[in-house]
Structure 1
Amino acid sequence: MTHRRAVLPLVFAVALLAGCSSGDDAGGGFAGGGGGGLSCPVPVGPLAFAVSGRANSPAPGLPQSVQDATVSVLTRAVDQDYRPRVTLIDLDGRPTSAGSDTFTTDAGNGIAAEDDRNQFLNGFGEALTGLRARAPEADVLSALDLAGRSAGGDRPGTVVLVDSGLSTVAPLDFRQRGLLDAPPAETVEALRATNALPGLQGVTVVLAGLGDVAEPQTALSPAQRSSLVALWTAVAEAGGASCVAVVDEPRGGDAPSDVPPVSLVDVPPPPTITPGQATTLPDDNSVGFQPDTAEFRDRNAARAVLTPFAQFVGESPTRRLALTGTSARAGALQGQVDLSARRAEAVKSLLAELGAPADRISTRGVGSEFPGYVNDVGPDGRQLPGPASANRTVIVEPSG
C-alpha cells in the first residue's frame, strides 16, 4: 500500500499516539466513538480546520465529536474512492493556511486502509496540537473566510472553527464596547453592508470552544456565552453555510506560552444593586430587550437579575428607585424617547411583579440624549452595532 504521509508544515495532535495502528485506535488521539454526534451531517468532502494556538484561549485540540466526524469522513472516503483534502488554518491576528494534505490509500483490504487512515491522522494530530500563533491579536472572521475557501471543491466541504470566538480585529472586534451584547442580526447586517461576511457558501460549519477562555481573559457568563454563540451562528448562516453545528463540550486548560499577545476583551460583570450608586442594566441576554420593542429577550433571566433590586426597595419604606431608559441614536429623537421610556416602564412592571412597591419607582425615557452617550453612527451614516448596544440601557438609581 502507499500513503502520502501528511506533509503539513504544522505540528497538530489531539492526544498524540506514536506510529500507526489498526483496530479501535483511530490514530493521533482520534479515538473513534465515545463522543456525542454533531447536529449537522458531515459530508465526505474537503475539510478545513481553523484552529487557534493563541493567548487567552485554551491550547489547540479537538472535541471528541469533531474527532469522530473526522474519522468518519476519512473512512467513508475510502468506501467512495474519494481523496479528501484536509487544510489547517492558523487562527491569529493574520490568519494563514498552515498547510494541507490529501488523504489517499491504495490498500487492498479494510485493515490496511485503516492503518493508512490512522497514520494520516497521526500526522494531522501532530500538526494541530503544535499549532502556534505568529501574529498578535485574533482575527476569527478572516480565519473563517479562509477556511471556507479551503473547503471548496467538487464536493460540499466542512469548516471546523476551534477558538473562544473573542475576535480582536476589526470589523468584528469585541474590545468595542457593547458588541458582545449587540443583537446578532444587527451585527450581521453591518458586516453585510461592508462585504465582510465570510464566504461559506454550501459548506457545513462546526463551531467549537466558543466562549471558553484561558487566563488572563475574564470568563464569560452563561448569558454572554449564549450571545457569542448566537452571533457566530448567525455570521456562519449569513455567509452561506448549509448547516451550522455548535459543540457544547467545554474546552479548558491554559493558553499556549511564548505566543504573541492578544488584547483582553472587557467582560462586564452582572448588574448588582448598590445603595447610593447608579447601576446600568445592559442590553444583553439577561436583562435586554428584543430589537425596537419593550419585550425582554428572556423574561426569566430578567427576573433573576432584578430580584435583588426588588428586595432592596421592599426592605425599607424610605427606599426608592429612579429608572431612566436610554437608547441608540436611531430615527427621530421623540421615537427614541418613547422607546426608552417604555423599556423603563417594563423594568418597573417586572419589579412590581417581584414585590417592589410600584409607587416608589419612577420612570422616564431620554433616548440618546444622556451623559455617557457613545457615538453609534459611523462616517457613512450606518449604525455601529457595538456602541448602539452600549447606549440601550435602563439606569437604576437607588435612594433611601
Structure 2
Amino acid sequence: MNRAGGLLAVVLAGALVAGCSSDEGGAGGGFAGGGGGALSCPVPVGPMAFAVSGRANSPEPGLPQAVQDATVSTLTRAVDEDYQPRITLINVDGRPVSAGSDTFSSDAGNGIAAEDDRNAFLNGFGEALTGLRAQTPEVDVLGALDLAGRSAGGNRPGTVVLVDSGLSTVAPLDFRQRGLLDAPPAETVEALRANNALPGLQGVTVVLAGLGDVAEPQPALSPAQRSSLVALWTAVAEAGGASCVAVVDEPRGGDAPSDVPPVSVVDVPPPPTITPGQTTTLPDDNSVGFQPDTAEFRDRNAARAVMTPFAQFLTASPSRRLALTGTSARAGTPQGQVDLSTRRAEAVKALLVELGAPGDRISTRGVGSQFPGYVDDVGPDGRQLPGPASQNRTVIVEPTG
C-alpha cells in the first residue's frame, strides 16, 4: 500500500472513514449527529482546501457528515479517474495560513486495497483537522476563504470547505462594527469589491458549514441573525466567482478549544424592544428591515409579527395615535433620502392598517439622514460604510396620544 497520510497528524482518527456522526459515540469534532444529507452542489474530482477554525468563541474543529461523505466520494472517484487530488488544510485565525497539504494517490491493484489507501489517508487528514489550533489572535474568515480558494485552484475545478461561525473580527469584514450583521449582503459585497477585498474563488465549489454556531463567551445569534450571516457569506462566495455554493445546516456545537489566542466578542444586537406605549426604533434587520433602496420589507411575515403589538396598542383606545418617522443613510441626494425614508414610514403605516389599526390616527414623515441620532456612514474615500449605514436606516414609532 502506498504512503497515505504523511500530511498533518494530530487528533481525529477515522471519523471521515467511518462516516460517523459527532454524537458521544463518535469523533465528529463538534457536529451533531443524524446525518446531514447530500450537499446541494456537486463536488468535482479536483483539489480540495478545508479552511477550518480551532479558535476561541467557536466550537472545536470537525466536519459535518455531508462533507465527510463528499470527501470520501471525491477520493474514491479520483482513484477511478487515475487522478491525484491535492488536499490542503487552512488554519482560520487572525492571520490564516496553510497548515499543510498532501496529495492522495493509490497504486492499489484492486478495490479493497484502494479503499485501504483512501482510509489511511483520511485517518491522517482527520487527525490533523481536529487537532488544528489557532496561533494568532482574532479571526480573518475572509482571508482564510481567499487562501483556500487559491489552494483549490488548478487545471481542474476544485472545492473549498469553510468551517467556522463566520463572525470575522478583522477588517475589512469586522463584525464588531455595529450594524454590519444586519446590513444587506449586496451592500457589504459592493463595499468589499470597491476595496478589492473579495476572495478569489473563480470556478470552485464552496461549502459553508457552521455559520452562526458559536461557543462561549460569544453570545448566540438569533435565527434571523444566523440567516443574515449565511446570506452574507453566500453572497461573498458568489461574488468571488464560486461556481456553486452549498450551505450545510447541520448544527455545530460544543465548547471552544482551550489554550488558544483570544478572539474579540462580537456584540449581537438584541431584537427591538417592543413597548407600544413608548418610542421604539425599528432597526434595519431581518425582522422589520427593507430591501436595499426600496420600501419592500425583507420579510413581510416577520414585520407583521413585530408590528402586531403596535396595531393592538392603537386600537385599544380611540385617543391613541402613532407618529412614524423614517430615517436613512447618507446616500444619493438629500431629496432622494427624504423620499425613500418617507416611503418606508408609509410602508409601516400600511402594514399597521393591514393589521387592523385605524389609518387616520397614524402620521408619517421622512427626514432622510437629517436626524439627531445620525451616525457618520461615509468613509474617508467617500464610499458608504455598510455597518453605520444600516444603523441609520430606521423607522421610529412614537405614541402621540
Structure 2 match to 1:215: 216
SS across alignment from 1:334: helix
Structure 1 match to 2:10: 11
Structure 1 residues 267 and 29, CA gap change in structure 2 (3 angstroms): closer
Answering whether residue 206 of structure 2 is matched by residue 205 of structure 1, we say: yes
Kindly provide the amino acid, as one letter, of the partner of residue 123 in structure 1.
G
Q: Does the CA contact (< 8 Å) of 1:28 and 1:126 recur in 2?
A: no
Q: Output the aligned Cα RMSD.
A: 2.2
- How far residue 299 of structure 1 moved from its aligned partner, in angstroms, is 1.0
1:34-45 aligned at under 5 Å gives the runs 34-45=35-46
Q: Does the CA contact (< 8 Å) of 1:12 and 1:124 recur in 2?
A: no
User: 1:37 and 1:363 mapped to 2: Cα distance?
Assistant: 49
Q: Does the CA contact (< 8 Å) of 1:3 and 1:106 recur in 2?
A: no
Q: Does the CA contact (< 8 Å) of 2:288 and 2:303 recur in 1?
A: yes
Kindly provide the amino acid, as one letter, of the partner of residue 275 in structure 2.
T
Which ranges in structure 1 are unaligned for 5 or more consecutive residues?
none
Kindly provide the amino acid, as one letter, of the partner of residue 7 in structure 1.
L
User: 1:121 and 1:270 mapped to 2: Cα distance?
Assistant: 43
- How far residue 132 of structure 1 moved from its aligned partner, in angstroms, is 0.9
- How far residue 273 of structure 1 moved from its aligned partner, in angstroms, is 2.0
Q: Does the CA contact (< 8 Å) of 2:201 and 2:242 recur in 1?
A: yes
User: 1:310 and 1:289 mapped to 2: Cα distance?
Assistant: 20
- How far residue 282 of structure 1 moved from its aligned partner, in angstroms, is 1.2
Answering whether residue 371 of structure 2 is matched by residue 377 of structure 1, we say: no
Return the TM-score normalized by structure 2. 0.93
Answering whether residue 363 of structure 2 is matched by residue 343 of structure 1, we say: no
Structure 1 residues 125 and 40, CA gap change in structure 2 (3 angstroms): same
- How far residue 308 of structure 1 moved from its aligned partner, in angstroms, is 1.6
Q: Does the CA contact (< 8 Å) of 1:276 and 1:399 recur in 2?
A: no
Structure 2 match to 1:2: 2
SS across alignment from 2:367: strand
- How far residue 24 of structure 1 moved from its aligned partner, in angstroms, is 8.1
Structure 1 residues 35 and 183, CA gap change in structure 2 (3 angstroms): closer
User: 1:304 and 1:12 mapped to 2: Cα distance?
Assistant: 47
Q: Does the CA contact (< 8 Å) of 2:283 and 2:394 recur in 1?
A: yes
1:256-271 aligned at under 5 Å gives the runs 256-271=257-272
SS across alignment from 2:308: helix
Structure 2 match to 1:58: 59
User: 1:211 and 1:47 mapped to 2: Cα distance?
Assistant: 23
- How far residue 34 of structure 1 moved from its aligned partner, in angstroms, is 4.9
SS across alignment from 2:326: strand
Kindly provide the amino acid, as one letter, of the partner of residue 179 in structure 2.
G
User: 2:301 and 2:74 mapped to 1: Cα distance?
Assistant: 42
Q: Does the CA contact (< 8 Å) of 1:272 and 1:308 recur in 2?
A: no
Kindly provide the amino acid, as one letter, of the partner of residue 104 in structure 1.
S
User: 1:24 and 1:39 mapped to 2: Cα distance?
Assistant: 19
Structure 2 match to 1:255: 256
Q: Does the CA contact (< 8 Å) of 2:2 and 2:106 recur in 1?
A: yes
Structure 1 match to 2:308: 307
User: 2:28 and 2:131 mapped to 1: Cα distance?
Assistant: 14
* 1:362-396 CA distance string (max 9 Å, x none): 22111101112111111111111111111111112
Structure 1 match to 2:125: 124
Answering whether residue 274 of structure 2 is matched by residue 273 of structure 1, we say: yes
- How far residue 275 of structure 1 moved from its aligned partner, in angstroms, is 5.2
Structure 1 residues 44 and 12, CA gap change in structure 2 (3 angstroms): farther
- How far residue 270 of structure 1 moved from its aligned partner, in angstroms, is 1.5
User: 1:116 and 1:51 mapped to 2: Cα distance?
Assistant: 24
Q: Does the CA contact (< 8 Å) of 1:28 and 1:125 recur in 2?
A: no
Q: Does the CA contact (< 8 Å) of 1:182 and 1:389 recur in 2?
A: yes
Kindly provide the amino acid, as one letter, of the partner of residue 11 in structure 1.
V
Q: Does the CA contact (< 8 Å) of 1:181 and 1:284 recur in 2?
A: yes
Structure 1 match to 2:102: 101
User: 1:356 and 1:25 mapped to 2: Cα distance?
Assistant: 54
More displaced 10-residue stretch of structure 1: 388-397 or 155-164: 388-397
Identity across the alignment (%): 85
* 1:185-234 CA distance string (max 9 Å, x none): 11111111111000001110001111111122122122211111111111
User: 1:398 and 1:53 mapped to 2: Cα distance?
Assistant: 49
1:20-31 aligned at under 5 Å gives the runs none
Return the TM-score normalized by structure 1. 0.93
Structure 1 residues 110 and 376, CA gap change in structure 2 (3 angstroms): same
SS across alignment from 1:206: strand
Q: Does the CA contact (< 8 Å) of 1:165 and 1:228 recur in 2?
A: yes
Q: Does the CA contact (< 8 Å) of 1:167 and 1:174 recur in 2?
A: yes
User: 1:28 and 1:218 mapped to 2: Cα distance?
Assistant: 26
User: 1:111 and 1:398 mapped to 2: Cα distance?
Assistant: 74
SS across alignment from 1:45: coil
User: 1:269 and 1:385 mapped to 2: Cα distance?
Assistant: 19
SS across alignment from 1:164: coil
- How far residue 67 of structure 1 moved from its aligned partner, in angstroms, is 0.3
Q: Does the CA contact (< 8 Å) of 1:139 and 1:167 recur in 2?
A: yes
- How far residue 314 of structure 1 moved from its aligned partner, in angstroms, is 2.2
